[in-house]
Each structure stands twice: as C-alpha cells, then as structure tokens.
Amino acid sequence: MQTAEIRRRWLDFFERKGHTVVPSASLVSDDPSLMFTVAGMVPFVPYLSGLVPAPYPRATSVQKCIRTNDIEEVGKTPRHGTFFQMCGNFSFGDYFKEGAIQFAWELLTTSEADGGLGFDAADLWVTVYEDDDEAIALWKQHSTLPEERIQRLGKDTNYWSTGQPGPAGPCSEIFFDRGPEYGIDGGPATDDDRYVEIWNLVFMQYQVADVKSKTDFTILGELPKKNIDTGLGLERVAFLKQGVDNMYEIDEVRPVLDRAAELAGKTYGADHTDDVRLRVIADHVRSGLMLIADGVTPSNEGRGYILRRLLRRVILSMRLLGVDGPTFEALFPVSRDAMKGSYPAVERDFDFISRAAYTEEKTFLRTLASGIEILDGAIDAAKSGTRAVTGDTAFLLHDTKGFPIELTLEIAEEAGVTVDEGVFKTLMQEQRERAKADAKAKKGQRADLSIYKELRGQGETLFTGYDELTHESRVLGIVVDGKPVPAASEGQVAEVVLAETSLWAESGGQDADQGLIVGDGFEAEVLDVQKPVPGLIVHTVRVEVGTIAVDARAETRVDADYRRGATQAHSGTHIVHAALRQVLGSNAHQAGSYNKAGYLRLDFTHGEALSTETKSEIEEISNLAIRSDYEVVTREMPIDEAKALGAMALFGEKYGDRVRVVDIGGPWSRELCAGTHVTSSAEVGMINLVSESSVGSTNRRIESLVGLEAFRSFAAERAIVHELSAGLRTPRGELVQRVQDLGAQLKAAEKKIAQLEAAKLAERVPELLAGAETLGSVRAVLGSLGTVGSADDVRGLVLQLRDRLADEAGVVVLAGDAGGKPVVIAATTAGARDAGVRAGDLAKLGAQVLGGGGGGKPDLAQGGGADVSKIDDALAEIRRSIGA
C-alpha cells in the first residue's frame, strides 16, 4: 500500500466519522517556543489547551513535521527520520477514551478491501498507563486483544504532558509485532525494536501543576472539557504495509536512496556503514525539499541553520561514499517526483526549491575545499610532530566548516596520522552544555500564555482599523507583570485587551500602530500591539493619566501620521516586489518583509548581488507605478478564488479559508495581504532604495525609504553634494571625476610612502643580522621594529632575513606596532625545522603573551594581540622557548 493511499484512507475514514479534515499546517510553527512543527497536535494546541475555542468538535489531519533532536540516529534505526508525517484525530470536548479506542481498532483491523488498513489483530499489542483501568476495560470491550497483549507501563512512557502547568493525561500506545526474527518476545515492555509503535492515543483529562519533570507533577483535578489527541506515524505504517524493514525504504524515500547508491557506485545492503550514509542522504534530501517548499532557506541562524545542516550532511555523506562533486541536481528531482503526489507544491515551486538547494551545495563545496586546506596543514604539522591532528583543529573544522569528525578521521587515517578525539569530545560536550543552558534560559523567558485563555474565551478581538482610526470599545481585561488585575493606574505599564480596536497589531511584516487609548478620567499611550494567541489583540500601554479599569469604556485613537506612513510603506513593499519580479523574473519571490512609517525592508529569493543598473531600474519602475496613480483595491474572498485570480501567496505566510486580496493597478500587483494600505499608488509618495545586501546564499535584501523620509534622504544627499562641490571648487557635473582623481592621487601617495618605509626597513637587515644569536642548535634573529606601516612590512623583512640564513639552521622572529596593534611574525629555514623549531609554535607563543592568538605553517607564521607594551616580553618568551 503506497504512502499516499494510507494518507487518503486515514482522512476518508475520519471524515466519515464526522471529523473536519484540516490541511497540514506549515513546517514553520506559529508557536514562538517552537522552531518547527514537531508533532501533529502542534497546530491544535490552542484548542486542546482551551486557550482558543475550537472551531469544530472533532478534526483530523496529516501533518508535516520536522524533528532534529535525534539527528544522529537517522539511518541507524528503522524509524528515525527528520521529516515525517503524523496522522491525527482530535476531539475537543466531544468523544473521549471509548471513541478514540473504537476508531483506532476499527481503522487498523478493517480489511483493505473494505477501506481499512488491514492489520492482523494477532500482530497488535497495546500499552496503557499503569493506573488507567478504564482504558484497559475499553480495550477488552472493543478489541479482540487477549489480556496478555495489553501491558501496563509507567508515567515515563504512558503519561503525556507539555512539561509545563496545564492539560495532561494518560495515553495508550498501539504496537505492531514484526516477529521473532527482529528480536525477543515479551511485548513493548521489552523496549525492543521488534515492536514498532504505530499509534499513540492521548487522553487529555487532567489539569497538572508544580511540574518538576516528566514524571513529577501534581494533578489538580479533571479538566472541565476532556480532549483526545492521537498520532499515527504515516512512515511507520507505510514500511510495515509495504513489507520493508525501515522508513528509508518506503515509496516516498527509497528512490532517492537508490539514486544516491547509483551515483556512488554502491550496492544497498552490501555494507552497513554505507547503508547508514545512504539512508541519511535519502532522509535529509526529502527534509530539505519540504523545508524549502515551506519557505525556509539556508542561513547561519534559526530554521535556516537547521536546513543548512541537513543539506551539508547530505554532501558530506556523499563524499564519504566517494562522490566529491555536486549531486543535488540528480537527487532533488527524484525526491520531488516521490513527494508530489501528496504535496503538489513541491512540483509547482521546484524552480525556487532547486535553486536554493543547488546554490547551497555549490557554496558548501567551496567551504569544504578551504576546510581541507586547513586539515592538510594540520596533517603536515602532525607528521613532523606528535603524529596526531589536535582536537582543537578537529573541533574548529566541525564548528566552522561543517566537517563531521568522521570525515576528519577518515582523511587523517588516509594520511597516516591520528586525531586527538579526547580533546574533540571535551570541546563538543562543552558546546552542548552551553547550548542546553541557553535553551533553558530562553525557555524560562517564554511568557505563560494561559493568562490569555479566559480573555480569548470571550471571543475574537474585532479589528476596525481598515475603515476608521478611532473606535469606542470596552476593556475586557488588564494584565500587569503576567497577572490579571482589575485596574492599572498612572505610571504603570500594562497589557490591555479590548472587545474591538482600531489599532493594528504587528503582523504580516507591518509594525504595530502608535496611538492612545482614552476614556473617562484616563489616558494611556500605546507602546506596542501584538497577537500573543490567534484572534486576541493585546495592547501594551503606559498609563499617563488616571486609572484604566476592566469593564470601562475606552476609545482607541490611532496616530494618523504614523498610520499614513505605515500604509505608504506597506503598499510600497507590494510595489517594489512587483518591480523586482518585472526586472528579475517570476523566480524572485518575497521571502520576508518589514515595514513601518517611512521605511520598508524586503527579502527576496535571488542568488547574486544586484548591479547598480538593476537597482536603478527597480527604483524607477517603482516610482513610475507611484506616478501612474494606480487604484489600490482590497477585497475579501475564499482563498481558492483568490489564487484562481492569480493572487500571490507568499512563502512562509499562513492563510485562512478567507483572505484579503490587495490589487495595485489591477493585476499589476495582486497579493494576499491582511495589512493596511493606501487607496492609490500616488499616496506612497516616493521610493528611495538605500541598500541591497545578502541575507543568505539564496536570499537578498532591499531596504528603502518611503514618502517623506525618502524625500528627506534625497535632500540630505543634495546638501552633501553642494558642500563637496563648493569645498572642491568643482561643478556638480564634474564632481565624480574630481573625487576619483583625488582618490588616485591618494593611492599613489600611499604606495610611495609604503615603498619608502619598506626601503627604510630593508636598511636594517645588516644591523639585525649582526645581532643574531645562537640559541640551542639554531642561529636566531629576534628583534622589535617599533612602529611599522603594516604586518606586510614585517613579513617582507622577515623573509629577507630568512633568505640570508638559508644555508644554516636559522630562525627569524620580528615584532612591531602596526597601527596600535602588536604583530609578531616568525620564519624558519629547513635546517631549523629539522632541529624541531616550527614557526607556527613560536608565533602562537608570542601571541599568547600579547593577549591574542596566532599560528600558521612550520616555515612561516603570524600572531597578534592587544597590548603593544608586551612586545619585549613576547620576544623574551620566544627566546627562552628556542633555547630550551
């Protein structure tokens, strides 16, 4: 049974049972505490927790998920994957344990011919929480399971909670027995790979507090509404139904594995180590495909860093299989074809997806080449010394170049040296501990959203600001320092929730409105407006006059000038986006934006910097659209109708069933957008592109001033030009050439000065040679040059002196003050290196004394620091080291 067919049967079954079919949410989670959607229940958390009223009594979904906490286990076990699909059925105060158990047993054991999954009841086991007698009785009543195949287990495996105060409850897990050839008898309690967990039924029935750990908490009592949250692993069911040994061999993953094996000239199943690498490749290519399809692009932070790590693990695994060149152009189309049946977007957007992946591969292959240069240098040093690459170097390669230790070990072994794994492991452990401490600190800083539960339960906050700047409403709640209070008085900062508001909450790239909330006897300045939970708008205010209380009448007043500027910037963002696509082509997608009064920032997919001519063209097209005074029309309609009209749905954005469509000049610019906008393009005023830069290997960023701020910038530049023209006594039209001429003159003068300084230093060669001293078995020239132009000047003199000592065991170490920073450079002849003296060691030693770092090759090395007063001390330490 194909994976897509299992998916279809799941949704059809639960739809027949009265569940609303909910499409998969994005892999990019709405939950600020989560980087990705890590479980099928994540999009439903506001409903399961009661924070937001559920829009339906029961629901079902097949949710895309990403987890990387077990990334090192990928390929080694039959079930660990970074991307997976979780089938779920959910009840929000509707059916409970009995319904969940009945549905699960019916779907699993109904024959394939009758629309079920066709599992043999004799292969199924169930675990329940040790005290949950009710669940055991229900399993006996609604299944054919004998009592010995219903096992009681403890809190560590069969009790679910978020790890925070809130809803929790026992769970019941369903396992498939793969047979004695896969392990020992005894059921899931043995924790053996023979028994594969396929479905977890969570009975969310208690409220817990004082949560100290997964198993240590206090049950306060039963929830007023009991919920059901279940999760069935689609890939796990697929590999069982397809008769293969693991998830990497199912129809949606195996084609990539086979193509990778073909590229590497390997036979899957012939070698365990190669098999693990092939599985990693197959899993990570699919994960990369799906992440990019949801708008994530490679970068050095956050979600982009996780994607980058996955893609680089593919490249490194292919290298360890013997393939050094690019492979993504062969692998990604195979994954696309395997996944498009379930997710058509991977085919529709493949041009964008492939460019992001291929660019990342090209970039990392260059990074690998530079890393190998570092490793080659470390291997050379190891061969002439301890015969081991230092753990520091191995960690540096891992941390900055993405080298896994396995690659470093393999290359070192081929060269006949070892790696100090002990130091490497110590540094890795220290890094993990720092990361854990950082994560713990961030977790502790997260707000407790439960304080908004009662407020959200009173209904959604109505935003009236599309049509008005002032609106009278009622205060529903006030929060101070994370706690609900009846009132906030003068001088206090508080969060205020109103029934309706004309103030825009930050979202969709548009910054929050500025303004006031006023009422009988009070006035509060609005500092921020946010949506901490879906449907609830919260105003952070400073009470300037009087006391604001719950149930008071209050009027929201938007700062009209700020709103005007914000709408100019937001409409300006749409205009620049349309201009970008007109100039660069339809492959230039918006990948993020931010706008506020007078300013816009637009990230877009493009692999190279824009030329000056291209930027000017984009700016001109944008301003021509403004001059054309296009009508700006906003309409609300079903999302399918909007897409049929050609409205752009932007990567990374999330949309409901009904959306707002913003047209600028009809189809010239047509996007889905909930923000506030001008009524005609002329109201934007002016676009002034002030910056274009890189924000990743596949993304660029344009920044622009808008409206009055754009004019002010042009006026400031005009003033600068006027001042330069007057100061240089040069007409405005000749100013550029005049500045270029002055620059050329300055460069020539600097070159002449450098030549004179180098010649002056060269005159010191006889003097320095005359001061050479014998240290141990080498002839050494050590000296301080005082103030020098640059490190290059010192290096040139060092090399001249080394050439004069070439026929003997010679060492040269010179130091100087280069612009207030100490520099030390060491060089050795072949004879000195044979005697065991290495330039890299000397430079590193001197740099340590100088309060900095350094190193290099055995023949030439450089160090630096922060304290020029320690130059003599550094040379003295080097002298002692050579003579030791």
List residues forming the annotated binding site for Zn(2+).
570, 574, 673, 677
Quote the CA–CA distance of 502 and 492 in Å, as a whole number. Answer: 23
Structure tokens at 114: 């009758």
Quote the CA–CA distance of 565 and 398 in Å, as a whole number. Answer: 47
Structure tokens at 373: 């240069």
CA dihedral 639, 640, 644, 650 (to 10 degrees): 50
Quote the CA–CA distance of 238 and 150 in Å, as a whole number. Answer: 24
The 10 Å CB-count burial string (b at 16+, else e) for 484-523 is ebebbeeebebbbbbbbbbbbbeebbbbbbbbbbbbeebb
Quote the CA–CA distance of 149 and 127 in Å, as a whole number. Answer: 8
Burial class (CB in 10 A: 0-12, 13-18, 19+), 298: buried
Q: For the chain, what is the total number of helices (H) and then of strands (E)?
A: 26, 35
Q: How far is CA 833 from CA 418, 512, 769, 837, in A?
A: 22, 66, 20, 5
Quote the CA–CA distance of 359 and 297 in Å, as a whole number. Answer: 11
Quote the CA–CA distance of 589 and 307 in Å, as a whole number. Answer: 19
Contact 604, 702 (CB under 8 A): yes
SS3 category, 25? coil
Which residues fall in the annotated binding site? 570, 574, 673, 677
How many other CB atoms sit within 10 Å of the CB of residue 877? Answer: 16
Nearest Cα to 408, choosing from 399, 416, 400, 398? 398
Q: How far is CA 215 from CA 42, 160, 436, in A?
A: 22, 9, 20
Q: How far is CA 229 from CA 100, 225, 569, in A?
A: 9, 13, 43
Helix (H) or strand (E) holding 406: helix 405-414
Q: How far is CA 256 from CA 309, 328, 550, 669, in A?
A: 18, 11, 60, 39
Contact 152, 129 (CB under 8 A): yes
Contact 700, 692 (CB under 8 A): yes
**First vs last Cα of the chain: how many Å apart?**
75
Quote the CA–CA distance of 622 and 808 in Å, as a whole number. Answer: 70
- The 3 state secondary structure assigned to 415-467 is CCCEECHHHHHHHHHHHHHHHHHHHHHHHHHCCCHHHHHHHHCCCCCEECCCC
Question: At a CB cut-off of 8 Å and minimum separation 6, what does 836 contact?
Answer: none
Structure tokens at 56: 């339906």
Quote the CA–CA distance of 579 and 631 in Å, as a whole number. Answer: 17
Tokens 């004879």 belong to residue: 831
Q: How far is CA 620 from CA 235, 453, 610, 686, 687, in A?
A: 51, 49, 15, 10, 9
